[in-house]
Structure 1
Amino acid sequence: MDAEQESLANPFSMDASCENCAALCDARSTLVHGYGDVGGEFLFVAERPHSGADRTGVPFTGDAAGERLQSILGELGFSRSPPDADEPDLQNVFLTYLTRCRHPERGPSDEEVRTCEPYLNAEIRMINPEIIVPIGQRTLDALATDYTTNRPGDVDVAEAHATTVRGRGFELVPMVDLETQSDEQTAAFVDHLLENVFSRDYRQTKGRRGR
């Protein structure tokens, strides 16, 4: 972690009381901005906060979906805390969402995704990751449109799960939704990073900023 980073939670001090989407503001428990190492080479992005994150305010915590991802991060050496931690101790990875608020009865609308887009774009620009992990089809479509030559629907997340897709200046490693992800799919994702990504330069640059 960069020496000047004071907190893993919302390290870029983004608006913690955003009220740009009235329907989401009325339904959310809390607003969930990004969390993690601002010098991280890996960025994990899902469509919206899961139910646990809506309660804790920390991405991918507080429920079964969060525990699955935190377990993956532990296996990859990105987390130094147990999978059920509400404030994970992370290194070399940043966690965030397309949208920062959760509606308990529906996913975000296209307009809500567009409204939140500047938050995600700013995080990507400031972190400048080597690898982005889009979680779920909606996230893959959004990132593929903005950061690759693919159009929405060109890449199926189930088929691309645990593979590498070339982007502009970085690579995407798609992941199927955590809520429906099988143990076999989790193992395949971990194996792909360990055997095909970490075997390249990314492992050598881990810790390069005094983490």
Structure 2
Amino acid sequence: MDANQREFENPFGMDLDCENCTELCGSRERVVHGYGDVGAEFLVVGVAPTAAAERNGIPFTGAGGGERVQSMFADLGFVRSALDATEPDVQNVFFTNLTRCRHPGRDPTDDEVRTCEPFLNAEIRMINPQIIVPVGERPLRALAVEYTTRRPDSFDIDAEHATTIRGRGFELVPMVEPEELTDERAGEFLEHMRESVLARDYRQTKGRQER
């Protein structure tokens, strides 16, 4: 964790009263920005806050997949608190989403994802991660547009799960959606992380900027 960081929750002070997506303003409980170590080498990107994450104000917390994904990073040593913690104790990892507001009746629209892009792009720029973990096909394709040379429609999350994809300046290590994380698929991801990512000097994937 950065020695000067005081808060894990929304550490960059992003707009908590955002009204850029009018259809979401009346249905959301709150805006949920990123959470974690601002000096992280690993950035985890989902689609949108779950109901539990919206209640907590923290992405990837609570039921609905958050605890499942957290458990993976706890196994890898990045989460040091109980999995049901509403404000996890994390190191070297930052959790965020493509969009920051939850609609209770539907997934985010493409326009809403595009409207939220500046938030995600700012987090990526300020964190400067080595490894990005897209959780699900939609984050994988969204990141592919900006950060790889492959066409977005060339990605299949089932095939790309627990592999490494070279990006522009960092690497992508995709994970299937939390509801698809069977014990077997979770084991595949953990094995790849331990043997192909953490076992080598992943910091050589790009030149590290001074913080």
TM-score bin, normalised by smaller chain: over 0.9
SS of 1:158's equivalent in the other structure is helix
Structure 2 match to 1:186: 186
1-structure distance, mates of 2:118, 2:203: 30
Q: Is the 2:50–2:64 Cα contact (8 Å) retained in structure 1?
A: no
Tell me how many residue pairs correspond in the alignment.
204
CA RMSD of aligned residues (A): 1.3
Distance, in Å, in 1 between the alignment partners of 2:11 and 2:50 is 20
Q: TM-score, normalised by structure 1?
A: 0.94
Take 1:22 and 1:63, find their aligned partners in 2: how far apart are those partners?
Answer: 27
- How many Å separate the matches in 2 of 1:115 and 1:66? 24
Residue of structure 2 in register with 1:3 after alignment: 3
Contact kept in structure 2, 1:71 and 1:82, CA below 8 Å: no
Asked if 1:28 is matched to 2:34, the reply is no
Residue in 2 that maps onto 1:71: 71
Aligned-partner residue type, residue 175 of structure 2: M
Cα distance, 1:64 vs structure 2: 4.1
Identity rate, percent: 62
Which residues of 2 match residues 91-170 of structure 1 at below 5 A? Answer: 91-170=91-170
How far residue 203 of structure 1 moved from its aligned partner, in angstroms, is 8.4
2:81 is paired with a residue whose SS is: coil
Question: Aligned residue for 1:209?
Answer: none
Q: TM-score, normalized by length of structure 2?
A: 0.94
Residue deviations 1:120-141, cap 9 Å, x none? 0000000010000011111111
Unpaired stretches in structure 1, ≥5 consecutive residues: 205-211
* 8 Å contact kept, 2:51–2:64: no
Match of 1:49 in 2: 49
Q: Quote the offset at 1:51 in angstroms.
A: 1.7
Query: What amino acid sits opposite 1:162 in the alignment?
Result: A
Which consecutive segments of 4 or more residues in structure 1 shift more than 4 A? none
Any stretches of 5+ residues in structure 2 without a counterpart?
Answer: 205-211
* 1:202 Cα deviation after fit: 3.9
Task: Supply the distance in 2 between the matched residues of 1:163 and 1:24 (Cα, whole angstroms).
Answer: 34
In 1: Cα distance, 2:181 partner to 2:19 partner: 32
Which digits, 9 at most, give the CA deviation of each residue in 1:40-77, with x for residues without a partner? Answer: 00000001111210111101112141110111111011
For residue 123 of structure 1, give the secondary structure of its aligned residue in structure 2: helix
Instruction: Give the distance between the partners of 1:145 and 1:202, measured in 2 at CA.
Output: 23
Alignment check: 8 A CA contact 1:55 1:62 kept: no
Match in the other structure for 1:201: 201
Q: Tell me, in whole angstroms, the C-alpha distance in 2 between the residues paired with 1:19 and 1:104.
A: 17
Residue pair 2:130, 2:203 contacting (<8 A) in 1 also: no
- Which residue type is aligned with residue 57 of structure 1? G
Q: Answer whether contact 1:35 1:96 (CA < 8 A) is retained.
A: yes
